[in-house]
Structure 1
Amino acid sequence: MTRATLVWFVYSAVELRCMAQEAGFGRVEVFGGLDGRRYDENAERLVLWAVRDD
């Protein structure tokens, strides 16, 4: 018998934005889809777009 452990982290948009900024990304935006739609309670997914300042 083989056993495995899976650890799953679920982050909010606010937490992801903060983590990206702490990692050095200056411009961080959150969208509700790949088409750039607004992220809200009806969003099907969370898309984070970040640009790192060099």
Structure 2
Amino acid sequence: MAGFGLGAAASDLEWPRPKMCRIEAGQTPLRALDVDQMCRLHGTPSELTEVLVSLA
């Protein structure tokens, strides 16, 4: 994750580490809210965030 370790990203997003592991492994779908939170954490431009959220 772009400069973030798995544990740090999980902590910043206030998600359990196993959730992050399942997301990275493609074992669980992402909700639009999850995508939005991840984009905010990584400083994703708003235009790209909108596209990614719509895909979720």
Q: TM-score, normalised by structure 2?
A: 0.37
Q: TM-score, normalised by structure 1?
A: 0.38
Q: Which structure has the greater CA radius of gyration?
A: 1
Which structure features the higher share of strand residues? 1
Which structure features the higher share of helix residues? 2
